[in-house]
Amino acid sequence: MIKGQDLTYELGLSLEEAATSSTKVISYHEGGRQETVSVKVPAGISTGKKLRLSGKGAASPHGGPNGDLYVLIRVLDHPVFKRDGDDLLLTREIRFTEALSGTEIEVPTIDRKTLRLKIPPGTQNQAKLRMKSYGMPRMDGDGRGDAYIQVSIAVPAKLNKKQKALLKEMEDAGF
């Protein structure tokens, strides 16, 4: 018996959706009729992964088994987070004085929480600070990736008179 043709359906997910297990209902056309199926999407799935739904493809022309439906995953770009495997990267800007003396900033997580992160004194521009286990869930269920916060130091384009005087004092003190 000849098996029916396999079909492919592309499913777009937001990064937040890819971070949690979910069930998606998809509709597609096969053999002149609309088919609707539920797809279990595991947490941590990434672009290019395929989920196979056995027997949900095209019917066999000769009475054999149906083909399979492959759901091709495409995780959409996120406005804040960049994904690197199971790790997430986001950039946060701090002032020059905060880089010198240290500060504490609020950082969002993919789970829609807000955490406080200490920026140590003397932090350099483009430094990456790690937040262990705040990245994407691993698809195999074994923990999570990490989140990395890249620090961008804002340098003022113009200084007022008081700032210039303070800068002169800092230069005189050896900065």
114 and 139 in contact (C-beta within 8 Å)?
no
Tell me the per-residue pLDDT of 5-24, one tens digit each, with 9 for 90 and over.
Answer: 999 999 999 999 999 999 99
Say how many Å lie between the first and final Cα of the chain, rounded. 81
Tell me the per-residue pLDDT of 79-104, one tens digit each, with 9 for 90 and over.
Answer: 999 999 999 999 999 999 999 999 99
Q: In the prediction, which pLDDT does 95 show? A: 94
pTM score: 0.85
* H-assigned helices in the chain: 15-18, 96-101, 161-172
Q: Provide the phi-psi class of 119: left if phi over 0, else alpha when psi is between -120 and 50, else beta.
A: beta
Q: Which residues of the chain have pLDDT under 70?
A: none
7 and 34 in contact (C-beta within 8 Å)?
no
What torsion, rounded to 10 degrees, do the Cα atoms 82, 78, 80, 133 define? -50
